[in-house]
Amino acid sequence: MTIFHKSTSIGFIGAGAVGGSLSVALHNAGYPVLAVASRTHASAETFAARIPGCTPYRSFQKLTDSVGFVFITTSDDAIGAVCDSVRWREGQAVAHCSGAASLDSLQGAVEAGAASGAFHPLQAFSSVEEGVQNIPGTTFGIEAGPELHDYLEQMALDIGGNPIFLRPEDKVLYHISGVLMGNLLSVLASVAASVWPKFDRSRDEGIHALTPMMVAAARNMDANGVPQGVAGPYPRGDLGTIRKHLEALSASAPEYLPLYCELALAGLPFAVEKGALKPELADEIAEIVKSYR
Ligand SMILES: NC(=O)c1ccc[n+]([C@@H]2O[C@H](COP(=O)([O-])OP(=O)(O)OC[C@H]3O[C@@H](n4cnc5c(N)ncnc54)[C@H](OP(=O)(O)O)[C@@H]3O)[C@@H](O)[C@H]2O)c1
């Protein structure tokens, strides 16, 4: 069995936000990131310019031949085709960073004798600069066999991450929780900011005003957990305020009423679990909310 270790040379195919951020974090942690290739050569050149000693390749095959370990950090849909487009060799390894894709997309490499893994950062990446800053403290969902188990675990630790191992059957639910937080939370923030134009304030002003609340709510949840971090008029059982919200939304922003109602209903069991709301009052609130849904 090939041993992968900190001096194994690493290459990236896919020079976007995740590949760019991870490569810089690995380089800073002492891992040799020596090669990159991407769909657009200019992206590979920008990537390589951040890392001393990293060569931008035009050919995926030449990149693959030049390193021991390859990260495929393309869009999810391209992973399988990119993997199948190159010849792998025994003793080599390949991993993707997708939370949704299974290891099946790397099967072509495995059939050629390479090891495969998944190394998914449970984090939102929009730029390399922010991505590098956000990696410390990020959880990495890892799928790997014995060949890559210790290597990927140590890699996550070396860049300040928190490694967790996932079984293939855990992957979709794990990814859903990440999408609810990283993606759908930003949709919720967009909806919250979109209420501001209803009282003649811009959406931009709204999101700037609401972001500190979002940050404080995140800190509160991290510090106090579920359900203690749950707060607001619902756990308080403020029926008067709740009725006013439902009326105002019906009148001024009916497009957001179903979402508001679903979230309010989803929150009631946590408020009861917290001990803040009596089950009878939770039932009463649920009936009222459902009547507006
Ligand atoms: N963004 C996130 O928040 C996030 C979080 C966790 C995991 N991930 C995962 O990380 C992976 C990369 O996501 P990303 O956000 O970094 O995407 P991204 O910013 O869109 O970057 C993808 C990169 O791959 C290149 N590429 C696309 N198709 C290609 C192909 N067929 N062959 C070669 N290169 C190709 C792109 O093209 P160019 O060469 O034209 O630039 C781009 O540089 C995905 O598996 C994603 O699920 C993303």
- Say yes or no: CB of residue 23 within 6 Å of ligand 1: no
In this prediction, residue 2 has a pLDDT band, given cuts at 50, 70 and 90, of: confident
Mean pLDDT (the chain) is 97
Is 15 a domain residue? yes
Quote the pLDDT of residue 1: 77
- Say yes or no: CB of residue 186 within 6 Å of ligand 1: no
- Say yes or no: CB of residue 98 within 6 Å of ligand 1: yes
Is 3 a domain residue? no
Structural domain for 139, as ranges: 10-166
Query: Mean pLDDT over residues 6-13, rounded?
Result: 98
Same domain, 122 and 180: no
Is 2 a domain residue? no
- At 139, which helix (H) or strand (E)? strand 139-144
Same domain, 159 and 181: no
For the stretch 249-292, pLDDT in tens is 999 999 999 999 999 999 999 999 999 999 999 999 999 999 99
Ligand 1 atom closest to Cα of 124?
Answer: 3
Is 5 a domain residue? no
CATH code assigned at 88: 3.40.50.720
Cα–Cα distance, 146 to 40 (Å, whole number)? 34
Contacts of 280 (CB under 8 A, 6+ apart): none
Same domain, 44 and 152: yes
Cα–Cα distance, 136 to 236 (Å, whole number)? 36
User: Looking at residue 289, what DSSP letter applies?
Assistant: H
**Overall number of domains in the chain:** 2
